[in-house]
Structure 1
Amino acid sequence: MIFISIILLILLGASLGALLGWASKALKVEGDPRVDELEAMLPGGQCGQCGEPGCRQAAEAMVKGNLAPTSCPPGGNGLAASIANLLGVEVSNDPDAVPVVAYIDESQCSGCTRCFKACPFDAIVGASKQMHTVISQVCTGCRLCEKACPQGCLSMQAQQVQLNTWQWPKPQTA
């Protein structure tokens, strides 16, 4: 009797597995492969700075043409150029746009932990009731921590030119 029950359960499991396998192939929804490429290029912090709830939705909106390639502040100009290249569109760069990073005035910081809880990139380190600091190499300038700080001790400052952030200046047109 137990042997028959085991055989029936194995047959039931195999038939349901085969049915699910057929359904996954027959009912597959084809998507644009550029969405997956764009999602892989985006920072993945789900910060919402572009106006979309997450990076997947932002990639879908960019492919549809509803969102500009420059709409991801954490990605900066380099990401915008890569996205525009993938989508085959032009990027209008603002010459006055400067990359920014968060800066914490440590003498004013009370250690409330709201800033590093708001940072989707883990660029802020510190402990409760202790001073916090920003890892500038990780900070993307998304400004979420600035909005979360109740003391106002967090500000955005122009990113210092370093070896990995330096860009060749464009020639001036006469």
Structure 2
Amino acid sequence: MISVLFFVLLGAMLGAALGYASQVFKVESNPLVEQIEALMPGGQCGQCGEAGCRQAAEAMVRGALSPAGCPLGGANLTQQVAELLGVSVTIADADIQWVATIDESLCSGCGRCYKACPFDAIVGATKQMHTVIRDVCTGCKLCTQVCPQQCLTTVALPPDSRSWFWPKPQTAAA
């Protein structure tokens, strides 16, 4: 009974010490970084040149990475990040959204594609048919790089209301 009481008191004291230390050594983060990170796809794919979305958001706030630095976010993310940072960016007319497609007749069901997809956009089981969930796919092309049968390709999606931006009017030169 004494040993149980001893360990309960020891646990309470250590918990109180850890709680106090977490308050004393707390690191305040930039709320702008957290807002930008919440907008990003969150796949940690590294196609922007950073290790993950958190590091990319920090680089955008520092000015080391352009608001258009995330190729998966497209024009929507670029515009939202630019508004948060208070900078202006030009959205290219050729900003194309890509999506992966699988040629089922060539797919052997090896499973490499759905293991490579950081967004879980490919569903299927080993030695079974795989398919791509178009609404989730960001077109990062990581799955096409690991497919041994070359049955994965990326195709351009036609613009829709979620990805198309009306171009800004050009002022006529006087």
Aligned to 2:61: 63
SS of aligned partner of 2:68: helix
Query: Cα gap change, 1:106/1:173 in structure 2, threshold over 3 Å: closer, same or farther?
Result: farther
How many residue pairs get aligned? The number is 172
Aligned to 1:21: 19
CA RMSD of aligned residues (A): 2.2
Aligned to 1:35: 33
Query: Cα gap change, 1:85/1:30 in structure 2, threshold over 3 Å: closer, same or farther?
Result: same
Structure 1: runs of 5 or more not aligned:
none
Give the TM-score normalised by the residue count of structure 2.
Answer: 0.85
Of residues 113, 127, 142, the one that matches 1:115 is 113
CA contact (8 A) 2:93 2:167 kept: no
Post-superposition shift, 1:27?
Answer: 1.6
Of residues 129, 132, 138, the one that matches 2:130 is 132
CA contact (8 A) 2:75 2:163 kept: no
Q: Distance in 1 between matches of 2:162 and 2:51?
A: 30
Counterpart mapping for 1:32-111 below 5 A: 32-111=30-109
CA displacement, residues 2-26 of structure 1 (integer Å, 9 cap, x when unaligned): 34x4554444333333322222222
Give the TM-score normalised by the residue count of structure 1.
Answer: 0.85
Q: Distance in 2 between matches of 1:161 and 1:69?
A: 21
SS of aligned partner of 1:157: strand
Query: Cα gap change, 1:114/1:6 in structure 2, threshold over 3 Å: closer, same or farther?
Result: closer
Post-superposition shift, 1:101?
Answer: 0.8
CA contact (8 A) 2:72 2:138 kept: yes
CA contact (8 A) 1:124 1:132 kept: yes
SS of aligned partner of 1:16: helix
CA displacement, residues 17-52 of structure 1 (integer Å, 9 cap, x when unaligned): 332222222222222111111111111111111111
Query: Cα gap change, 1:154/1:7 in structure 2, threshold over 3 Å: closer, same or farther?
Result: closer
Query: Cα gap change, 1:21/1:129 in structure 2, threshold over 3 Å: closer, same or farther?
Result: closer
Identity in percent: 60
